[in-house]
Chains A and B, each alone.
Chain A
Amino acid sequence: MIWGVLQFPGSCDEQDALHACEVVGDEARLVWHEERDLGGVDGVVVPGGFSYGDYLRAGAIARFSPAMEAVAELAAAGGPVLGICNGFQVLCEAGLLPGALLRNQELRFICKQTDLLDADGRTLSIPIKHGEGRYYAPEGMLDALEANGQVAYRYADGHNANGSSRDIAGVRNERGNVVGLMPHPEHAVDPLTGSTDGRVVFEDLERFAT
């Protein structure tokens, strides 16, 4: 598995994402946002940060970059795409994932270790760090997501720090090959940082994408 990690002006987690991809995959390379060709990678990570300064709305401008056109094509062809934090916001703005991310309920930037539940009911310890991570979708859309099994990750009881609808921390598209989440699995792949549960997120994606 060869991973590409997008890099926008204002990305800040691309190096950790690159490291995580090297841990879980065979090879990883950075893809500059102006590249229209992903160079034959099998999967893509859209990393965290503040792409284009988060001007207008988080992710609103990054979605129009040439690299994102290539990501949309990869997603349409069934390739795995993982959006983390700002990357999740970009994928929602691009219409590759349903819903939107709003300012945290308490208006504070939150940075802490959080427990998530994946679709198999496993508890994963993964950090969050965001100011705009409150997942929102209209009620009808939330019902459809739950009915289709598209809720990929939920905050465990007492861990929904941003006020997300129905404790949703991450969602996947209908096909299952595009996943976005606010928590940062790329910061939790090495025992050095206290948890290696982030690897499960990459494994989940590969499993759902194939």
Chain B
Amino acid sequence: MAKARVLIRPKEGILDPQGKAVERALPALGFEGIGHVHVGRMVELEADDLEQLGELCEKLLANPLIEDYEIQPL
């Protein structure tokens, strides 16, 4: 079995209120100069064949209309 990590994030240009909420909290904590925060999901899995992950992402793990995904073999 091969391990992989799938990162799923909101597509560029789609309002990401979670990312904005985190960003707004930063100055109060003393963090300066941090912006463009986006909150997504991470899925870790093991598979016999990593080739099928693209289709898995398209059909289930991500919604391609609103999310981008990135498959990272580990």
Chain A residues within 8 Å of B, Cβ to Cβ? 56-57, 60-61, 64, 93, 99-100, 102-107, 134, 136-138, 163
- Main secondary structure, interface of A, reads loop
- Main secondary structure, interface of B, reads mixed
Interface string of B36-74 (1 = CB under 8 A from A): 000001000000000000000000110101100000000
Residues of chain A within 8 A of B41, CB atoms compared:
56
Would A163 and B15 count as touching, CB distance under 8 A? Answer: yes
The interface on chain B, measured as residues whose beta carbon lies within 8 A of the other chain's beta carbons, has a size of 11
Residues of chain B within 8 A of A138, CB atoms compared:
65
Most buried by B among A57, A104, A134: A57
Would B17 and A136 count as touching, CB distance under 8 A? Answer: no
| Least Cβ–Cβ distance between B20 and chain A, in angstroms | 9
In Å, the complex CA distance between A64 and B60 comes to 9
In Å, the complex CA distance between A57 and B60 comes to 9
Would B17 and A137 count as touching, CB distance under 8 A? Answer: no
Residues of chain B within 8 A of A61, CB atoms compared:
60
- Known A99-B65, A137-B65, A138-B65: A56·B17 in contact at CB below 8 Å: no
| Least Cβ–Cβ distance between A129 and chain B, in angstroms | 18
In Å, the complex CA distance between A99 and B21 comes to 24
In Å, the complex CA distance between A7 and B65 comes to 27
Would B14 and A103 count as touching, CB distance under 8 A? Answer: no
Which of A57, A99, A102 is the one whose CB lies under 8 Å from B14? Answer: A102
Which 5 interchain pairs have the tightest Cβ spacing?
Answer: A100-B66, A100-B65, A107-B17, A105-B17, A100-B63
In Å, the complex CA distance between A138 and B64 comes to 12
Residues of chain A within 8 A of B15, CB atoms compared:
102, 105, 134, 163
Would A102 and B60 count as touching, CB distance under 8 A? Answer: no
Would B60 and A107 count as touching, CB distance under 8 A? Answer: no
| Least Cβ–Cβ distance between B74 and chain A, in angstroms | 21
